[in-house]
Structure 1
Amino acid sequence: VQGLSACLPSLLPFFSNLLVTCIPQETDNADEAQRQEYYMVVRMLLKTLAAFVDWVPLKALYKNNLLLMLCELLSVEPHRQAAADCLLLIVERKGPRDERAPLLDILQHLGPIVASVEALTQSSMDNEDVYTFVKRLAQVITVLGTNQLCSLCGPGSIKREPPKNFDDYVRVLYEFTLHPSAVVSSLTFVCWATMLRNDVLKQTDVMKRLQLPLAEVLCDKMVRRGNPEVGFFGESAVFSEQDFSDLEEWNSFFSVYRSQALTILSLISTHFPTAMVNLLATNLSNLVDNTPAALESAPRNSNGELESHAEVLEAWDAMGRIWEASAPPAHDQLMQQLAKGHDSGAMAVLGQCFQAALTWASREPKLYLCELSVLGSMVVCLNEM
């Protein structure tokens, strides 16, 4: 390492110049053989860079424009996977905050990514290589937010306000959360939770606008749709079939997935208690209305009991967990508002939900247990009814 460190002043400029020279030749050269040669040079160069970027001084990467070139390569199909691998190693870096601050410059180069996420989502459904790249790109985006953005921005950090292009960053993160793949979506959860706890970032207009849409998305994604033994269904099926072949692995993943999603819903309930109570009430009402029809087509065992993987049962299980995570923090905030003389009407909505849940009961034992979870989360309302 000492020998390589001594060579860095000449080695990194050489890498940079080589990329500048070879990439145009690879795409524009009329000679197929020469294009292939330039392709191999860039490919080997990126592999070599991957061995450097996690230990060389960050200022050396900035000085030689390697960070910018790696971002640009995310739009070059033959090299985007290798570029994303390098960028992930870079954004995972730790060290003094002032040395890491220039990493936020990556936010300035999100334009092409914003434009391509939707197209990548579509093409990843039937192309495993594209799907692999989408997962790596999602890691780059989320680790950039968790390890760098949230660490460098805040009251006690070196930046007291969000960087430029923060809105673009949040929109890209949201697009990855919307991805039908449970794995891709899950990669964003820790980043959302970290930003929702950040006193500077959570106050931005874009974060305020997206919290309720994010909550709606997560409530839907909380429903487990199949497993490796009975098969997956829904828009996430094609991805889950690629990612999971073992039931134990799937159950372990989904347990963490659901726990992280519930953490986000709890935080949003603290920030927007009235809106979250209204969302919970609407979702519960819709589920109650749709349950009779869902029960008619639900799979059952030889004894006539609901199968554990029945979607209606999974929907009620998710509903119980969502209420348990969201209702108490929302209630606490609403009580504080009432103490200050502000009544948003949400407490009355909680009371109505409690009364409705008491009067509606399923004859299905498994559904009844899920309903008890919903009722249990509403116990906090008893003193206010």
Structure 2
Amino acid sequence: MKIINYNLIIIALLFVVGCSKKENNNQSQKENMENIQVSDYGVTAKDDSIKKYTLTNKNGMKLEVINFGGIITSLTAPDKNGKYEDVVLGFTKPEDYFNGNPYYFGALIGRYGNRIANAKFALEGKTYNIDKNDGPNSLHGGKEGFHTKFWNIEPVKDAKFPTLKLTYTSADGEEGYPGKLSVTVLYTLTDDNALEISYEATTDKATVVNLTQHSYFNLSGNFAKTITDHELQINADKFLPVNETLIPTGEQKAVKGSPFDFTVSKPIGKDINSDDDQLKKGKGYDHNWILNGSGMRNIAKVYHPQSGRVMEVLTDEPGVQFYSGNFLDGKFDTKTGGKNEFRTGFCLETQHFPDSPNQPSFPSTELKPGQKYQAKTIYKFSVKK
């Protein structure tokens, strides 16, 4: 009579299953690495070589990123006929990114996204004067903010989808900000046609942090066309009115009954030329909406009827700056021909509120030693036929 050792059989089966999972994981990691290509992009005036990283998902969607400014130079998405086209504005010449990037096309923004009034703030009893690069105010971290820095980029080998890890260390006192700030950003291109952006930061001294991504979108795929025909919905019942220099007044105003009501989807151009004091100050929309809810949630949706493209925005941030491209001035060629004219791109910059360091009623942007700054935003693309 044979005695069957079931324990040995179970151990053997577990070993086979474990090996199979490991092989699948290794295969997935191998495919991810194959879907990340590195190439030469350009050379700066200081003779620094810039690299471009191209990520491709299983559908053929592509994301292109350079290590200067962490800039997204291209992102494709399908239309209702399945045609993939670039949907983010950018320059045709690499040197235009290196020589100031006046529109912040595609850049990572820090230390502080948006504006800080009078380019100063107080923290733990000390006043800090930061770079004044927007009239009396500081904008997007100053003239030499994160959008001008060289980021270390490396592909993430064990990621489920093609992922880039970007790191940068901002020295204590850089652009006037206190503390040595260590920043990590992940760009992930998923197989459901989503760009996921994850932010982390730590400091050795109390500071303020408000990171964001400054890509301009035009879902038509033709960057010479205006975005006023795009239909936008924002999940927000209130927005922040601004003064003449676009600094929030501190009021949190209901959008109902105003041109700022996007609680129900409507064309961006429907009310943009209304006789409204806030629209006149911003030359259109350039305001922060106070998002409903908390945690990771769907906060905005954009639909372009002609192409059928849809972009959903998810974030765990409290606010989003909707900017309708009011300062694009036609000085540069687009990637699809024509010029980057007035309102040919829009931004949905997820973030904390502008001027929070000077406005105690706003959610705090302070970061102290031992704490970790974390935020995440997803731009997800689909098609409506």
What's the TM-score once normalised by structure 1's chain length? 0.22
More strand by share: 2
Higher relative contact order structure (alpha carbons within 8 Å, sequence separation ≥ 6): 2
What's the TM-score once normalised by structure 2's chain length? 0.22
Question: Which is higher, the Rg of structure 1 or of structure 2?
Answer: 1
